[in-house]
Structure 1
Amino acid sequence: MKKALATKNRATRETWIDAAYTLFVNEGIEAVKVMPLAKTLNLTRTGFYWHFKDLSELHDAIIDIWQTRNTGIILERCAMPAQSLCGALLNLIDCWIDTELFDAPLDLAIRNWARNDARLQAIVDQSDDDRLTAVKQLFERFGKTGDAAHYRALTVILTQTGYYSMQVSEPRLQRAIAGCHYAEIFAGEAPTQLEIDAFLSRHR
């Protein structure tokens, strides 16, 4: 019995975080509690405390995943080298088509949680500012300045937020084709056929 208990307690920190992530995205932060997690994993409550001092530390780990996976990827994609404004925008639009890059369900779950958590709302507000700044700087790299850069960047962010808040579902290639049209609207110029072909080839 002791040997079996020790084996259960050796579950990794990532095991608990992965289970918490799944519960959180599917059921909200209220579902992320020690006993439901332990039951889901067939582990002991004591095993949880091998890796976390309390539940708030696990909650913070979920927030860290969100900041890295979602805000981090937007900043990264905005900074990628590109030969044109449309090319730069398509690099960004990649992360809203490829679910391996940007986690829309996680973003929505975080925002729902933040409505009832002032500390998290402040983190979300700062993250949104960082995202907007990154997209604005993308436009500035290609000659858009002032309000022209700001409102284009805001339109990019709000368009994508609208997609997942309204839970729009469409085939990946269809979303990619739409992405080419959005890039043209955001940039005020059409991507080249070479840029379109390269972009669509990434999402077939």
Structure 2
Amino acid sequence: MSRAASAKPILDREAWIDAATETFAEEGLAGIRVETLAKALGVTKGSFYWHFDNRDELLLGVLERWKDGRMRDIVKQTECEPGKEFEQVEHVLSVYSTTRSRKGMRIELAVRDWAGRDPRAAAAVREVDAMRFDCARKLFLDAGLSKQEASSRSILVYAYVFGQSLMDCERFDTDIQQARADIFRLIQGKPQAS
């Protein structure tokens, strides 16, 4: 066997965070173990300790990736041209209600569970939720709604986004497309068509 063929892969810090994030999505915080990750990655624990002082530092890397990714995503999803705010709200609702990323939702729930036990995770969740709320509220404010109504509708947007992702909505309504259209219309405050 050649020396190149038997060489262990060289991993950077991001590869470890990738692997830990995958494990986090499947097994939660308890599943992230250095030895198990090293084995799955085909490297020694020494590779881990080259990049991290300890497991906690890796966990903070996972948390930062989640936080930064969520914040980037919501800013991207809520940017729009003036006068197109309601269309952008509908876009946000559509993106988050139809893609239904199971992995993304598992990570979201695992982070929120973690936040119940760790003040650093709780702070990250508060930051992400504040960004989500502020970006959605800005759409409604820019559309001309009062601050109170914009705030209420922003809460409703995220109550819907998270609630429907945890439910099997098709069980309750056979015409899910019509149900979504009705929900979008209600959130936007549009009158029902006669």
Q: TM-score range by the shorter chain?
A: 0.7 to 0.9
**Contiguous gaps of at least 5 residues in structure 1:** 192-204
Residue 167 of structure 1: how far off its partner (Å): 4.7
Deviations 1:126-164 (A, max 9, x none): 221221111111100101112111111101111112123
Aligned to 2:16: 16
Aligned to 2:50: 50
Aligned to 2:31: 31
TM-score normalised to the size of structure 1? 0.77
Q: Which amino acid aligns with 1:119?
A: R
Deviations 1:4-51 (A, max 9, x none): 8x9326123332222111110111111112101012222110111222
Distance 1:9 1:183, change over 3 A: same
Q: Is the 8 A contact 1:35 1:45 kept in 2?
A: yes
Residue 166 of structure 2 corresponds to residue 161 of structure 1: no
Q: Is the 8 A contact 2:74 2:131 kept in 1?
A: no
Aligned to 1:121: 122
Residue 129 of structure 2 corresponds to residue 131 of structure 1: no
Map 1:103-122 → 2, pairs under 5 A: 103-122=104-123
Residue 116 of structure 1: how far off its partner (Å): 1.1
Distance 1:127 1:135, change over 3 A: same
Task: Give SS of 2:51's match.
Answer: coil
- Write the distance in 1 (CA, Å) between the matches of 2:66 and 2:119: 17
- Write the distance in 1 (CA, Å) between the matches of 2:65 and 2:38: 21
- Write the distance in 1 (CA, Å) between the matches of 2:176 and 2:121: 31
- Write the distance in 1 (CA, Å) between the matches of 2:157 and 2:133: 9
Q: Is the 8 A contact 1:80 1:91 kept in 2?
A: no
Deviations 1:26-78 (A, max 9, x none): 11111112101012222110111222232222112211221232232112211
Task: Give SS of 1:8's match.
Answer: coil
Q: Is the 8 A contact 1:74 1:95 kept in 2?
A: no
TM-score normalised to the size of structure 2? 0.81
- Write the distance in 2 (CA, Å) between the matches of 1:179 and 1:152: 16
Distance 1:9 1:85, change over 3 A: closer
Distance 1:190 1:17, change over 3 A: farther
Q: Is the 8 A contact 2:71 2:132 kept in 1?
A: yes
- Write the distance in 2 (CA, Å) between the matches of 1:177 and 1:61: 41
Identity %: 26
Q: Is the 8 A contact 1:9 1:43 kept in 2?
A: yes
Count of residue pairs brought into register by the alignment? 186
Residue 179 of structure 1: how far off its partner (Å): 3.9
**Contiguous gaps of at least 5 residues in structure 2:** none
Superposition RMSD in Å: 2.9
Residue 99 of structure 1: how far off its partner (Å): 5.6
